[in-house]
Amino acid sequence: MSTISTSRRMNATPLLQLEHISLSFKGVKAITDISFSVNEGEICALIGPNGAGKSSLLNVINGVYQPDQGTICYAGASRHRMRPHDAAVQGIARTFQNIALFKGMSVLDNVLTGRNLHQRSSWVEQAFNVGRAPDEATEQRRKAEQVIEFLRIQPWRHQLVGNLPYGLQKRVELARALAAEPRLLLLDEPMAGMNRQEKDDMSRFILDTQREFGTTIVLIEHDIGVVMNLSQHVVVLDYGKKIGDGTPEQVRVNPDVIAAYLGTTH
Amino acid sequence: MLYRESGQFVTSYRADQRVFRLWQERWGLALLLAVAFVMVPFIANDYWFSAILIPFLVLSLAGLGLNLLTGYAGQLSLGSAAFMAVGAFAAYNFHLRIEGMPFLLSFVFGGLAAAGVGVIFGLPSLRIKGFYLLVSTLAAQFFVQWVLTNFSWFSNNSSSGVITAPQLIIAGHDFSTPLGRYLLTLGIVAALTVLALSIVRSALGRNWMAVRDMDTAAAVIGISIARTKLVAFAVSSFFLGIAGSLWAFTYLGTVEPHGFDLTRSFQILFIIIIGGLGSVLGNFLGAAFIVLLPILLSNISNNLLAGAIDPGQLENIQKIIFGALIIFFLIKEPDGLARIWQSLKRRARVWPLRF
């Protein structure tokens, strides 16, 4: 098993490497000494029971939480912690478990906000709509429309996101993240609360993203069926520790993973 | 039937991003401006200009300034009158102390001074939110008034702290008549309203709304929260500073620091709450409500009930009715008068059908 895993890793260069990451909240350990790496261009799934530390790990990767120990190596640079702004500048985009859209804005405006870091004009130019601002506004709109078309949300582009159904809101959030043209995309339960049809659509969008833009994707998902079909790499967490790491086939037969999910006979 | 986009196709993103996309909107606006600039000067009298139209326009502008900060960027503030005072006193001093400073330019510098002060009193917003921020902006309110009262340099050593408007002469034209002051105010307010519409549709306005709606997500997208908030304070205070200059020079003529007290800040806050947070039009509706309704009530009651009720009581009754109307509107339409306009537009779109 380890030989297969090694050979897989030697084929591609890792984009993200976590080394010995630990995180605790006021003494309660959320993550203990977790290391794994994500290769450029792969879809990596984080799975595990509730409270295993999956979301915390995503928050460490893009700087919302600061780890107690360990290093984050991203795109060749190694650091103790990320800051959310740095992470965004470095091309890390994400979606949230509880949708974090800007509810008072239209779908289009939400997607345009995702292009924030591609703005070159100063705020004075934007306010007076002079200089670089008008051309840039048109250019950003064109890019935003490409994402809107890619995710098939054209009919709703002028609606307030707060009024849209749940499944669509999830899709808009993905659109906002994709508008940033990220190199690494973190998806926190992109299919939570969806029905079969919506899950299929979302899986298709995630696969298309990987294929068309070559984006590296780390996602958290509870639906094992979806995970096995979607990802090339699965990392299993339980009680803040890593208990499995490998291809879906390897993880499926890993006794620790089976024990964590199904329990063992004693 | 009356108001819809049927038959009006846009073929470029630039056309789609215009502020007024439909010909109905563009003609409506042209008509409104024509009425305000051309027709009103013929039909209104001096009382209307000085007591109703000018304060209505100035308070609309002040509401617009606060709405950019509170309605769009989500930062609460009770320092609006302080920023107006800074604008007025700064414009007064720029005009007084710099030889040959054109009148309008001193307004702009007054606004910039207010923007600077706004940024300083906006610094607490980097650490605290909501009602706590509201309380910290009270510091601006008291501090500015204290400085302007205690250091007579700001009022050119006038013993009572009163400043008097200089002659309103722009490019050789005298704007000192009520009509002139009305046109001057209208011109400035119209120009700044266009600027505000452009701001709230720009990337800057989107960043403000992003910070307002969900600041964690905004930070993850790469929006600099601190910068965005401070720019909001600066731009908002710039608008308020200009409104303060207008309040002092085109409306009152003479003003003391006490004219910009906490009551004024509350008045502006009520304007945007009644008018609608996060709306440009709402400020005008809210200001109309706050300025015009008391006058209307007083005229009605004086004509209908004069003699029947003691005048002192009558005044109290007016206040009670005014308060009751505010409560009524806020219950019926918590999102403000601007929302009523929105739903009217939606109705007009499908009229004569209902849905």
Confidence check: pLDDT of B123 > 70: yes
Structure token digits, residue B181: 């002051």
User: Which range scores top for mean pLDDT: A248-262, B9-23, B259-273, B305-319?
Assistant: B259-273
> What residues of A are in contact with residue B13 (Cβ under 8 Å)?
137-138, 141-142, 145
Helix (H) or strand (E) holding A217: strand A216-220
Nearest CA in chain A to B73: A104
Task: Tell if the CB–CB gap between A102 and B204 is shorter than 8 Å.
Answer: no
Strand partners, B255: B163
3-state secondary structure of A35: strand
> What residues of B are in contact with residue A128 (Cβ under 8 Å)?
195, 198
Domains in chain A: ranges and CATH: 1-91+183-266 (3.40.50.300), 102-181 (no CATH)
pLDDT tier at B353, thresholds 50, 70, 90: confident
What's the rounded mean pLDDT across residues B156-181?
Answer: 80
Task: Tell if the CB–CB gap between B210 and A113 is shorter than 8 Å.
Answer: yes
Nearest CA in chain A to B224: A85
Residue-wise pLDDT for B124-163, tens only, equals 999 998 899 999 999 999 999 999 988 888 888 877 778 8
Task: Tell if the CB–CB gap between B14 and A138 is shorter than 8 Å.
Answer: yes
pLDDT given for residue B312 in this prediction? 79
Q: Which amino acid is at A174?
A: L
Helical ranges in A70-106 per DSSP H: 84-89
Nearest CA in chain B to A111: B206
Residue B297 lies in a domain: yes
* Any B CB within 8 A of A158 CB: no
Task: Tell if the CB–CB gap between B223 and A113 is shorter than 8 Å.
Answer: yes
3-state secondary structure of A266: coil
Q: Count each helix (H run) and each strand (E run) in chain B, helices first.
A: 16, 4
Strand partners, A95: A187
Task: Tell if the CB–CB gap between A113 and B207 is shorter than 8 Å.
Answer: yes
Q: Which amino acid is at B129?
A: K
* Any A CB within 8 A of B203 CB: yes
Nearest CA in chain B to A143: B13
Please report how many Cα atoms fall inside a 13 Å half-sphere around the Cα of residue A49, on the Cβ side.
13
In eight-state DSSP terms, residue B225 is H
Nearest CA in chain A to B278: A104
**What span, in angstroms and rounded, lies between the C-alpha atoms of B65 and A147?**
34
> What residues of A are in contact with residue B212 (Cβ under 8 Å)?
102, 104
Confidence check: pLDDT of B183 > 80: yes
Residue B148 lies in a domain: yes
Task: Tell if the CB–CB gap between B204 and A180 is shorter than 8 Å.
Answer: no
What's the rounded mean pLDDT across residues B280-287?
Answer: 95
**What span, in angstroms and rounded, lies between the C-alpha atoms of A80 and A70?**
6
Task: Tell if the CB–CB gap between B13 and A119 is shorter than 8 Å.
Answer: no
Residue B289 lies in a domain: yes
Strand partners, A233: A44
* Any A CB within 8 A of B204 CB: yes
Strand partners, A220: A46, A188
pLDDT given for residue A266 in this prediction? 60
Residue whose entry in the numeric block shows the structure tokens 């849905």: B355
Nearest to B140 by CA among B82, B65, B67, B77: B82
Structure token digits, residue B134: 């509201």
Structural domain boundaries enclosing B334: 44-350
A248 preceded by a cis bond (ω within 30 of 0): no
Tell whether the torsion through CA atoms of B102, B107, B108 and B109 is positive or negative.
Answer: positive
Task: Tell if the CB–CB gap between B222 and A88 is shorter than 8 Å.
Answer: yes
**Which member of B14, B207, B216 has the closest CB to residue A100?**
B216
Over its C-alpha atoms, chain A yields an Rg (Å, rounded) of 19
| Ranges assigned E (strand) in A111-200 | 184-188
Residue-wise pLDDT for B54-66, tens only, equals 999 999 999 999 9
> What residues of A are in contact with residue B206 (Cβ under 8 Å)?
105, 109, 112-113, 116
Task: Tell if the CB–CB gap between A129 and B235 is shorter than 8 Å.
Answer: no
Other C-beta atoms lying within 10 Å of the C-beta of residue B123: 13
pLDDT tier at B166, thresholds 50, 70, 90: confident
Nearest to A146 by CA among A112, A185, A102, A96: A112
3-state secondary structure of A19: strand
Confidence check: pLDDT of A5 > 50: no
What are residue A35's phi and psi, to 5 degrees?
-130, 135
Residue-wise pLDDT for B253-267, tens only, equals 888 888 899 999 999
Nearest CA in chain B to A113: B206
SS3 sequence of B251-320 = HHCEECHHHHCHHHHHHHHHHHHHHCCCCCHHHHHHHHHHHHHHHHHHHHHHHHHECCECHHHHHHHHHH
Residue B112 lies in a domain: yes
Q: With contact defined as beta carbons under 8 Å apart, do B244 and B237 qualify?
A: no
Å from B330 to nearest chain A CA?
A: 20
Task: For chain B, give the mean pLDDT.
Answer: 89
Inter-helix orientation angle A133-150/A196-213, to 10°: 130
pLDDT given for residue A11 in this prediction? 53
**What span, in angstroms and rounded, lies between the C-alpha atoms of B256 and B159?**
11
Å from A88 to nearest chain B CA?
A: 5
Nearest CA in chain B to A103: B213
Nearest to A182 by CA among A215, A148, A204: A215
> What residues of A are in contact with residue B231 (Cβ under 8 Å)?
123
Task: For chain A, give the mean pLDDT.
Answer: 89
Helix (H) or strand (E) holding A17: strand A14-25
pLDDT given for residue A107 in this prediction? 96
pLDDT given for residue A10 in this prediction? 45
Residue-wise pLDDT for A105-152, tens only, equals 999 999 999 999 999 999 999 999 888 998 999 999 999 999 999 999
Å from B152 to nearest chain A CA?
A: 35
What's the rounded mean pLDDT across residues B165-193?
Answer: 87
Tell whether the torsion through CA atoms of B89, B90, B94 and B95 is positive or negative.
Answer: negative
Structure token digits, residue A53: 């530390």
Mutate one of A126, A128, A140, A160 to test the B interface: name it (highest B CB count within 10 A). Answer: A126
Query: A residues 173-202 near B, CB within 8 Å?
Result: 176, 180
Q: With contact defined as beta carbons under 8 Å apart, do A61 and A186 qualify?
A: yes
The tally of domains found in chain B comes to 1
pLDDT tier at A7, thresholds 50, 70, 90: very low
* Any B CB within 8 A of A62 CB: yes
**What span, in angstroms and rounded, lies between the C-alpha atoms of A122 and B247?**
31
**What span, in angstroms and rounded, lies between the C-alpha atoms of B267 and B243?**
14
3-state secondary structure of B128: coil
Nearest CA in chain B to A83: B220
Task: Tell if the CB–CB gap between B221 and A116 is shorter than 8 Å.
Answer: yes
3-state secondary structure of B12: coil
Nearest CA in chain B to A123: B204
Residue B9 lies in a domain: no
Contacts of residue A23, Cβ cutoff 8 Å, sequence gap at least 6: A29, A30, A31, A53, A56, A60, A65, A67, A68
**Could you write out the DSSP letters of every residue in B31-81?**
HHHHIIIIIHHHH--HHIIIIIIHHHHHHHHHHHHHHIIIIIS----S-HH
pLDDT given for residue A2 in this prediction? 41
* Any B CB within 8 A of A105 CB: yes
Inter-helix orientation angle B203-213/A107-114, to 10°: 100
Other C-beta atoms lying within 10 Å of the C-beta of residue B9: 8
CA distances in angstroms from B160 to A114, B100, B154, B245, listed in the order given: 54, 27, 11, 19
Residue-wise pLDDT for B190-221, tens only, equals 999 999 999 999 999 999 999 999 998 999 99
Q: With contact defined as beta carbons under 8 Å apart, do B16 and B201 qualify?
A: no
Residue-wise pLDDT for A81-109, tens only, equals 888 999 999 999 999 998 999 999 999 99
CA distances in angstroms from A128 to B115, B170, B272, listed in the order given: 16, 24, 23
Residue B258 lies in a domain: yes
> What residues of B are in contact with residue A116 (Cβ under 8 Å)?
203, 206-207, 210, 221-223
> What residues of B are in contact with residue A140 (Cβ under 8 Å)?
203
Å from A175 to nearest chain B CA?
A: 12
What are residue B149's phi and psi, to 5 degrees?
-80, -40
**Which member of A123, A137, A138 has the closest CB to residue B231?**
A123
The residue length of chain A stands at 266
pLDDT given for residue A264 in this prediction? 64
Helix (H) or strand (E) holding A93: strand A92-95
* Any A CB within 8 A of B212 CB: yes
Mutate one of B192, B207, B221 to test the A interface: name it (highest A CB count within 10 A). Answer: B221
| Domain containing residue B339: CATH number | 1.10.3470
Residue B36 lies in a domain: no
Residue-wise pLDDT for A206-260, tens only, equals 999 999 999 999 999 988 888 989 999 999 999 889 999 999 999 888 888 888 8
**What span, in angstroms and rounded, lies between the C-alpha atoms of B165 and B91?**
10
Pairing of strands B163-164, A28-39: unpaired
Q: With contact defined as beta carbons under 8 Å apart, do B170 and B187 qualify?
A: no
Residue whose entry in the numeric block shows the structure tokens 């499908």: B350
